[in-house]
Amino acid sequence: MRELGRHFVFELFGCDPQGLDDLKGIQDAMERGAEDAGMRVLGRVFHKFSPQGVTGVVIIAESHIAIHTWPELGYAAVDVFTCSTNTDPMKAFGRLKGVLKPKSMTVMELKRGLFMGDKV
């Protein structure tokens, strides 16, 4: 029994408020991080909220990387979903961690597309 995709759910607390509100820095870290990880970037969509906060998703050939930030709370929710076994999700997260500087974080891995049979 093998999964189609691995979905990493990051919870980041105590982040730098300026980093959390820096759309350009976040987007750059996500796209370059995806490349570091061996992923192929296909497109992106980002939005800067007023007065603060960033939402953005980069779609990759291997699935997606998403972020939502709350600068006023020092919090970010990050998802890295990859359906390739040849990519390194932690590498995709590395640059983002550098921009956001979380004081504490958790990461959970969800197996997506688990077939109980011999389909995959």
The site for a second copy (CB under 8 A) is made up of 4-5, 7, 9, 11, 13, 42-47, 49, 55-57, 59, 61, 63-64, 66, 68, 70, 73, 75, 77, 79, 81, 83, 110, 112-115, 119-120
Does the CA dihedral 83-26-98-35 come out positive or negative? positive
Confirm whether 63 is a catalytic residue.
yes
CB of 90 to a second copy, least distance (A): 20
β-pair partners for 18: none
Q: Which is the catalytic residue, given 15, 47, 64, 68?
A: 68
CB of 98 to a second copy, least distance (A): 21
Angle among Cα 57, 103, 20 to the nearest 5 degrees reads 35
CB of 18 to a second copy, least distance (A): 19
Confirm whether 83 is a catalytic residue.
yes
β-pair partners for 10: 78, 107
CB closer to a second copy, 18 vs 104: 104
CB closer to a second copy, 44 vs 101: 44
Confirm whether 68 is a catalytic residue.
yes
Place of tokens 């570091």: 36
Q: In this structure, what are the phi and psi dihedrals at residue 60, rounded to the nearest 5 degrees?
A: -125, 160
Query: Could you tell me which of 79, 99, 98, 100 has the C-alpha nearest to residue 89?
Result: 79
Which positions are catalytic?
A: 63, 68, 83
